[in-house]
Amino acid sequence: MKRVGVFICHCGSNIAGAVDCEKVAENAKSFPGVAFSTDYKYMCSEPGQELIKKAIKDHKLDRIVVASCSPRMHEPTFRRCLESGGLNAYLLEMANIREHCSWVHPDDKEKATWKATELVRMAVAKVLKNEPLQRSTIPITKRALVIGGGIAGIQAALDIANAGHIVDIVEKEPSIGGKMAQIDKTFPTLDCSACILTPKMVEAANHPNINLITYSEIENVEGYVGNFDVTIRKKARSVDMTLCTGCGTCMQKCPTKVPSEFEMLMTDRRAIYTPFPQAIPNKPVIDRKNCRYFTTGKCRVCEKICPTKAVDYTQEDELVTQRYGAIVVATGFDLFDHSVYGEYGYGKYKDVITGLHFERLINASGPTMGKIKRPSDGKVPKDVVFIKCVGSRDEAKGKAYCSKTCCMYTAKHATLVREKIKDSNVYVFYMDVRTPGKGYDEFYTRTTDQFGAKYIRGRVSKIYEKGDKLIVRGEDTLLGRPVEVEADMVVLATAMVAQPDAAKLAQMVGFSYDQDNFYTEAHPKLAPVETHTAGVFLAGACQGPKDIPESVAQASAAAAKACGLLSKEEMPTEPIVSCVNEAICAGCGMCVPVCPYKALDLKVIQERAHGKTITRKVATVNSGLCQGCGACTVACRSAALNLKHFTNEQILAEVDALCL
Amino acid sequence: MSVKEAQANWEPKILVFACNWCTYAGADLAGLSRLQYPPNVRVLRVPCSGRVNPQFVIRAFQRGIDGVLVAGCHPGDCHYVTGNYFTRRRYLLMQRLLQYVGVDPERFQARWISGSEGPKFQQVVKEITEQIRAMGPNRKLRDAQ
């Protein structure tokens, strides 16, 4: 005979003000299975919990219903109370008579009391069917994977490595560094990007706990928190990393020239190359698509010239599988394809460039050695027009969101143009100027007041060539009249968008992304670096447009979360998972594709029936993967699948109790 | 109480299946914000709206419930990635089934209410209570008593 104890909380006057708690406790005594019922002022308080523990002992209670606030608030509290009172934590049910009753029905005590009674009756009916559940534990692999070797990935890896855990950074390019390596100066301090990034790159490369896996991509991810099995494709570099000393002779002698992606195609690299001189690892790879040997079968210059015989044309892609406890995703962003804005003439006019092109033009290590020269004829531009929100905040052609960084980097570019070219004129077409951030607005004010950049509020409708000038035609919406600016060069502040393969990676690892393919955090405010997939964390602009300080902060936050996981030997698992009644499972497999966590599978069992041994298929649940959503239980046609703690019988008992 | 009186005093009873992550939190927020709504609803917590078996809904109607609401996270926001898509499909099928057996399909509804939408929870409950009240008691599917 099951003996249920019912405890009605007054929550001071929060509940008792609208609900007659004594009456609810009195009513509860008549419910089937209830052996004890009482009310108390604060059930969650120490004496309240003692009251429950004492009642468990005195009245030999084996199931408890607490009617109080939301279980989202105090379920863990009362579960602990049950455990210390000698009962299994899952023999508790809560009736939410505060948020769902007293607080929303303050004026009708009779009805509120009746509703509270019914909610308690439902909870009693359910708890009678509760079963004790055991939390199990799974071991945690003490190794972290960071996907992406930009500033966010490097920072996350350094923090995890400094906490004493092994970290692998997987980067698809031949060098770590990401977009920040291309940038010249950083706002609002105007310190040089390379000067603050390259030491971190070196630190990561030399750290005993960090392994750099560059020129590699994630091929497959299986498993779950604590134990992800990740397959990494190490693309063939055609250069033996152990033999190569990075002397660079091959890069000088290679006869094939290819536009350099790092320099935004403004200058050439060779077919055997490192993306930039400060690359880490500073050892070249052969770009097989463009290499003369790989395309025509003749050349082999680099092989002949290499003093250590490191060039190896026979190398093949290598697949390695490694187990990780936690994954930090820091894959960064890409730039919006602004060719949709035909009116800006990108591609048609050489002197219409993007912000990242401009970064290379003003970079001392860039194609022009830091001298601002316009791409068409190498002349120093005198009149420079910047156009903001190219692709951002434009639902019709671009993206609905604000890319967040463009206002500041355009102000930075404007400042640098005025600083480097004394007699220049800078015009900035803008929709709004958004400068939240420490020292940001001061920087913008300096750009306009001290450096004299002319900000024009309005959109540009057309750019066309006239002689060697570009005519920028737009509207000044503050003056309410059209404006025309003669420019030598136009710089577009293109939107930050998700990486082209962002969705593919998210599907592979198994977390969600939004309509713009940016990765979705578990909670926009309270879990900004977690994903809904336990053990997978987000850092940097893959989650949404971010500047460098924010990316770094988020990377450290993600690292802290990963370390929290890796510092434990094992972790408890929630026992609310699906289970299979093999006796009635027909093995149809309908449940398998329904599961979002790949926790369901079919297995073959042998059993004796009618004097014969038969083998048949039945569903099986991997309780380590199952998150307890219950989708499979509804898909199951023979009702062989059930979700523990939310079984069909429990929910039906609640429904029945409500409808009495 | 005479039959007439009982009819006059009739109050609809509505069962709400609320997913733990969005709608249950939204209902909690409605309470936290002291947003009043009619006391005709009873919230039953399920891990995900995709856990709601149509069998539960039919049983509730058989036992005399006047209306059922299944509420979960907005499409795309499901805590369990895809659960609410199943809910959406089942909801459409259920409505057609109800229509087929001659019950007003509006007695069974589905809504997306997130954890930050306390006012929406209040609004939905108010609306549905009034709709069901206008329809009158569920007699068609109720078991003989």
DSSP structure string for B101-119: TTS-GGGEEEEE--TT-HH
> What average pLDDT does the segment B80-99 reach?
91
Contacts of A652 in chain B (CB under 8 A): 55-56, 59
Residue among A112, A122, A515 whose CB faces B42 most closely: A122
Give A526→chain B minimum CA distance, Å: 13
Distance from the A502 Cα atom to the nearest Cα atom in chain B, whole angstroms: 16
A231: left (phi over 0), alpha (psi -120 to 50) or beta: beta
Low-confidence ranges of chain A (pLDDT < 70): none
Distance (Å, whole) CA A460 – CA A651: 61
Per CB-CB distance under 8 Å, the chain B contacts of A98 are 31
For chains A and B, count residue pairs whose Cβ atoms are closer than 8 Å: 130
- Partners of A630 on chain B (C-beta within 8 Å) are 46-48, 50-51, 83
pLDDT at B1: 55
Rounded-to-integer distance, Cα A606 and Cα A623, Å: 22
| Domains, chain A | 4-129 (3.40.50), 135-235+317-332+499-570 (3.50.50.60), 236-316 (no CATH), 336-497 (3.50.50.60), 578-644 (3.30.70.20)
pLDDT at A232: 97
Helices (H), A137-296: 151-162, 193-206, 249-253, 292-296
Percent of chain B scoring above 90 in pLDDT: 71
Of residues A100, A627, A658, nearest to B27 (C-beta): A100
User: Beta A216-224 vs A227-234: how paired, if at all?
Assistant: antiparallel
CB-CB: which of A107, A119, A634 is closest to B50? A634
A629 with B47: Cβ contact below 8 A: yes
Question: In the prediction, which pLDDT does A307 show?
Answer: 93
Q: Which of B54, B56, B122 sits opposite A655 (nearest CB)?
A: B56
How far away is chain A from the Cα of B78, in angstroms, using its nearest Cα? 9
Query: What ipTM goes with this model?
Result: 0.96
Residue in chain B nearest A73 by alpha carbon: B28
Mapped to the 3 state alphabet, what secondary structure does A173-208 carry?
Answer: CCCCCHHHHHCCEECCCCEEHHHHHHHHHHHHHHCC
Out of A118, A596, A656, closest to residue B81 by CB = A596
* Chain A residues within an 8 Å CB radius of B10: none
pLDDT tens sequence across B91-131: 999 999 999 988 899 999 999 998 878 999 999 999 999 99
User: pLDDT, tens digit, for every residue of A220-277?
Assistant: 998 888 999 999 999 999 999 999 999 999 999 999 999 999 999 999 999 999 999 9
Express each pLDDT in A419-464 by its tens digit. Answer: 999 999 999 999 999 999 999 999 999 999 999 999 999 999 999 9
**pLDDT attached to residue A224:** 81
Give the per-residue pLDDT at A166: 97
Q: Give how far B10 is from chain A: nearest CA, Å.
A: 13
Cβ–Cβ gap A656/B59 under 8 Å:
yes
* CA distances from residue A543 to A255, A286, A497 in whole angstroms, order as listed: 41, 32, 10
Split at pLDDT 50, 70, 90, the class of B145 is low
Which of A14, A94, A526, A629 to mutate to probe the B interface, most B CBs <10 Å? A629
Q: Is B60 in Cβ contact with A104 (below 8 Å)?
A: no
The β-bridge relationship of strands A92-96 and A137-139 is unpaired
Alpha carbon separation from A129 to A87, A125, A363, A644, B118 (Å, rounded): 15, 7, 70, 11, 31
pLDDT value of residue A470: 95
- What does the pLDDT read at residue B2? 66
Tell me the domains of chain B and their CATH numbers. 3-135 (3.40.50)
pLDDT tens per residue, range A156-182: 999 999 999 999 999 999 999 999 999
In this prediction the pTM is: 0.74
Q: A634 to chain B: nearest residue by CA? A: B53
First to last CA, chain B: 18
Cβ separation A631–B27 shorter than 8 A: no
Q: Which residues contact A543 (CB under 8 A, 6 or more apart)?
A: A518, A519, A520, A521, A528, A529, A554
Which residues are CB-neighbours of A563 under 8 A, at least 6 positions away?
A159, A160, A163, A165
Beta-carbon separation of A112 and B39 below 8 A: yes
Question: What tokens appear for B33 in the block?
Answer: 């914000």
Instruction: Report the alpha-carbon distance of residue A144 to residue A558 in Å, rounded.
Output: 11
Nearest CA-CA distance, residue B46 and chain A, Å: 7
> Does the distance separating the beta carbons of A70 and B63 come in below 8 Å?
no
CB contact under 8 A, A658 and B25: no
Contact A99 B90 (CB under 8 A): no
Cross-chain residue pair B46–A119, CB shorter than 8 Å: no
CA-CA distance, B99 to B81, in Å (whole number)?
A: 30
- Are B56 and A652 an interchain contact pair (Cβ–Cβ within 8 Å)? yes
Element (H or E) spanning A641, and its range?
strand A641-643
Mutate to test the interface with B, among A75, A104, A654 (most CBs of B within 10 A): A104
Q: Which of A70, A100, A596 shows the shortest C-beta gap to B80?
A: A596
Element (H, E) at A386: strand A383-390
Tokens of A532: 């809904």
Who wins on pLDDT, A47 or B77? A47
